[in-house]
Amino acid sequence: MPHFKSRDITLFYEDVGEGTPLLLLHGLTSNHAMFYREMDFFKKKYRVLALDSRGHGRSDKPESYTLDDHIKDAVALINHLELETLYVLGVSMGSYIAQGVAIALPDRVKKLVLVATKPSGEQSSMAELFDRHEDAFRGLSLVGKLDKSSEFMFYNQEKVDEWLRKTAEKSDGLTGREQVAASAALKDFDFRSELGKIRAETLVISGTHDGLNPPDKGRETALHIPDATYMEFKRSGHAPNVEQDRLFLGITDNFLD
């Protein structure tokens, strides 16, 4: 299994297929296994690289880290593999990392897909969701809040449940301490003043029913990136790649092609 060092951290990644490199960046508390469908689909045309961000999956799990660490780790992987150019696709937290990578490497990232994204945040999207619907979450434990949050996050819960089950079968989850560290890494970021540096052809996809990163956040992201295309999936929440998977794969494949 491929590993590499980014400063003092050992990180894991999957490497399948041949062709133009396509880097996949996963969401908060998840890992490369969430992309089982995308890896199987895109490996027929691309060299698909799926990174486990620090604190996640099979990568090292330090006690604390930042979004900037995630971005530097992704850049380190690109340099480790000596990729001159590549495409990048990020979902939720992965889309924040992807923005940072495209800003840092404007001449190397040629195409960029940002899914369920936002351009800034004072705290994690989950913490913002708890605050936004304070009455609904009042009195619940953290586990109870996380269980209830799906009501605000997804449109097709049946598809999401199946996806989560299959992802869990292929990987281990995080402990409570590891989840807290992962969430804390997403506090206080703001790319809005730098998104104009991105030169990649960019597609931003939001789900109409996403209560975690609502569509207005996706539209805001697209407006700050030169010539970006914005799409909204009408029967999706926070996981357009899962809730409308065939539409997502078709549109993304056409965009990358």
Average pLDDT of the residues of the chain:
96
pLDDT digits (tens, 9 = 90+) for 46-105: 999 999 999 999 999 999 999 999 999 999 999 999 999 999 999 999 999 999 999 999
> Would you say the pTM of this structure is higher than 0.85?
yes
pLDDT digits (tens, 9 = 90+) for 221-254: 999 999 999 999 999 999 999 999 999 999 999 9
H or E, element range at 252: helix 245-256
Which of 129, 163, 167 is CA-nearest to residue 30? 167
Query: How many structural domains does the chain have?
Result: 1
Helix (H, G, I), strand (E, B) or coil at 24: strand
CATH of the domain at 66: 3.40.50.1820
Question: Within 10 A of 169 (CB to CB), how many other CB atoms are there?
Answer: 9
Helix (H, G, I), strand (E, B) or coil at 244: coil
Q: Helix, strand, coil shares of the chain as percentages rounded to 5?
A: 45, 20, 35
- Domain limits for position 62: 3-256
